[in-house]
Structure 1
Amino acid sequence: MNENKELFEEMPVYKAVVSLVVPTVISQLITVVYNMADTFFIGQIGDPDQVAAVSLCMPLFVLLTGMANLFGIGGSSLIARSLGEGDLEKAKKVSAFSIWTAGMVSLLYGILVFVLRGYLLPAIGANEATYDFCSRYIFWAVTVGAAPTVLNAALAHLVRAEGYSRQASFGMAMGGILNMILDPIFITLLGFEIAGAAIATMLSNMAATFYFITLIIRRRKSMALTISPRHYGLGNSIPSEVLLVGLPSCVMTLMGVLSNVTMNRLMVSYCNEAVAGIGIAKKVDMLAFAIATGMSQGVLPLIGYNYSAKKFGRMMSAVKITFIYSLVIAVIGMVFLLTCAGPIVRAFIDDPLTVEYGGRFQRIVCLPGPCISVTMIIITLFQSVGKKVEPLVLSLLRKGGFDIPVMFLMNAWIGVNGIAWATPIAEFASMLVAVLLFIPFWKGLKLELETVS
Structure 2
Amino acid sequence: MEENILGKEKISTLFLKYSIPSIAGMLFLGLNTIVDGFFIGNYIGMNALASVNIAMPFMSVMIAVGVVIGIGTQSIIGRRLGEGDIEAANDTFKTSLLIMASISILLLLIAVGFTKQIAVFLGTNEQLMPQVTTYVSCVGLFLPLLGLMFVLDYVLKIMGKPIYSMMVLLVAIISHIIFNYLFIKQLGMGIKGAAFATGLSYCIAFAMALLPFITGRTTVKLFRGSFKKTIACNIMYNGSAEGLTEVCAGITTFLFNITLMCYVGEIGIAAFTAISYLSFIGNNILIGLADGVGAIISYNYGRGNVERVRKALKLTVFSAFFIGVGIFIIISNFSREIIMIFFDANNDRVLNFAVYGAKIYAFAFLVSGLNIVASGYFTAICDPKSSALIAISKGMVGIGICLTVLPSILGIKGIWLTVPVAEILTLILTVSLMYKQFKYQESNMNGRDGEK
* TM-score exceeds 0.5: yes
Cα deviation code 1:57-82 (max 9, x no counterpart): 11111211101111100000000000
Aligned partners of 2:30 and 2:284 also within 8 Å: yes
Aligned partners of 1:288 and 1:334 also within 8 Å: no
Displacement of 1:443: 2.9
* Counterpart residue type for residue 272 of structure 2: I
CA distance in 2, matches of 1:325, 1:416: 33
* Counterpart residue type for residue 125 of structure 1: G
Aligned partners of 1:82 and 1:90 also within 8 Å: yes
In structure 2, the partner of 1:131 is 129
Aligned partners of 2:212 and 2:218 also within 8 Å: no
Displacement of 1:162: 2.2
Aligned partners of 1:31 and 1:176 also within 8 Å: yes
Aligned partners of 1:291 and 1:326 also within 8 Å: no
CA distance in 1, matches of 2:65, 2:135: 20
Q: TM-score, normalised by structure 2?
A: 0.95
Given the alignment of the two structures, is residue 212 of structure 1 paired with residue 209 of structure 2, yes or no?
A: yes
1:368-447, aligned counterparts within 5 Å? 368-447=364-443
1:151-190, aligned counterparts within 5 Å? 151-190=148-187
In structure 2, the partner of 1:227 is 222
In structure 1, the partner of 2:362 is 366
Displacement of 1:181: 2.0
Given the alignment of the two structures, is residue 74 of structure 1 paired with residue 69 of structure 2, yes or no?
A: no
Instruction: Pick one of 282, 287, 290 that aligns with 1:293.
Output: 287
CA distance in 2, matches of 1:275, 1:396: 24
In structure 1, the partner of 2:340 is 346
- Mean CA deviation greater in 378-387 or 41-50: 41-50
How many aligned positions are there? 446
Displacement of 1:416: 2.7
Secondary structure at the counterpart of residue 355 of structure 1: helix
Displacement of 1:201: 0.7
In structure 2, the partner of 1:279 is 273
CA distance in 2, matches of 1:130, 1:315: 49
Displacement of 1:38: 0.5
Secondary structure at the counterpart of residue 347 of structure 1: coil
CA distance in 1, matches of 2:44, 2:93: 45
Secondary structure at the counterpart of residue 298 of structure 1: helix
Identity across the alignment (%): 19
CA distance in 1, matches of 2:124, 2:174: 30
Instruction: Pick one of 259, 265, 284 that aligns with 1:266.
Output: 259
Displacement of 1:231: 2.4
In structure 1, the partner of 2:110 is 112
Aligned partners of 2:98 and 2:227 also within 8 Å: no
* Counterpart residue type for residue 333 of structure 1: I
Gaps of 5+ in 1: none
Gaps of 5+ in 2: none
Displacement of 1:189: 0.5
CA distance in 1, matches of 2:164, 2:324: 25
In structure 2, the partner of 1:240 is 233
Cα deviation code 1:378-400 (max 9, x no counterpart): 11111111112111111111111
Instruction: Pick one of 10, 20, 23 that aligns with 1:22.
Output: 20
Secondary structure at the counterpart of residue 358 of structure 1: helix
Aligned partners of 1:252 and 1:399 also within 8 Å: yes
CA distance in 1, matches of 2:317, 2:100: 31
**RMSD (Å), alpha carbons:** 1.5
In structure 2, the partner of 1:146 is 143
Given the alignment of the two structures, is residue 47 of structure 1 paired with residue 51 of structure 2, yes or no?
A: no
Cα deviation code 1:241-275 (max 9, x no counterpart): 11111111111211221121111011122221110
